[in-house]
Amino acid sequence: MILDLHSHSVKLGTFFYTNFSEGMNEEIKIFPMMVCKNDQRFDYRSNRYRGGSTKTARKVLFDILKIPKIYTVESSYYGYQKIGDHRIIQYVPNDYREMGENILISFSQLMKKRQRNNTNIRALLIQDE
C-alpha cells in the first residue's frame, strides 16, 4: 500500500482518491472505508474510486508497480463538516496528527482482520457493523 498525502484549498474535509483496477474495485474501497469509520474528519462521501488523471503520482506508480492499493489522501487546509451538521470545524495541528494516527490504526486493524479471517472483503466490513 502507498499513501500520497496532499492538501487542498477547495473542498472541506479529508478523503481518498484511488485508481480504478478491474476486478479489484471492492477491495480498493475497504481501507478508505475503515479510515472513515474510525475518524469523522474523513468524509467517505467525497472518496473517489475512478482513477483520475493519468499524470498523477498514484496512476504513474500503479503503472510501474502494478499494485492496486495506491491512495491519494486529500486534506483541507481549512476544516471539515460532520455528517448532518453544516458548521465548519477548523482544523488545528493536533487534528492532522490524530488523523495520521487513525490512518495507521485502520491499517493495523485491516491487517489483523485479514490474518484472523482470511475471508472475502465484504465480510471484513460487515463484521464491524
Is the whole-model pTM more than 0.85?
Answer: no
Say if CB 70 and CB 19 are below 8 A apart.
Answer: yes
For 18-34, how does the pLDDT look when each residue is reduced to its tens digit (9 = 90+)? Answer: 887 666 677 888 899 99
Mean pLDDT of the chain: 85
Burial profile 31-59: b = 16 or more Cβ within 10 angstroms, e = fewer? bbbbbbbbbebbbeebbebeeeeeebebb
Cα(13)–Cα(7) distance, integer angstroms: 10
Q: Between the CA of residue 68 and those of 23, 85, 106, 107, what are the distances in Å? A: 10, 34, 18, 16
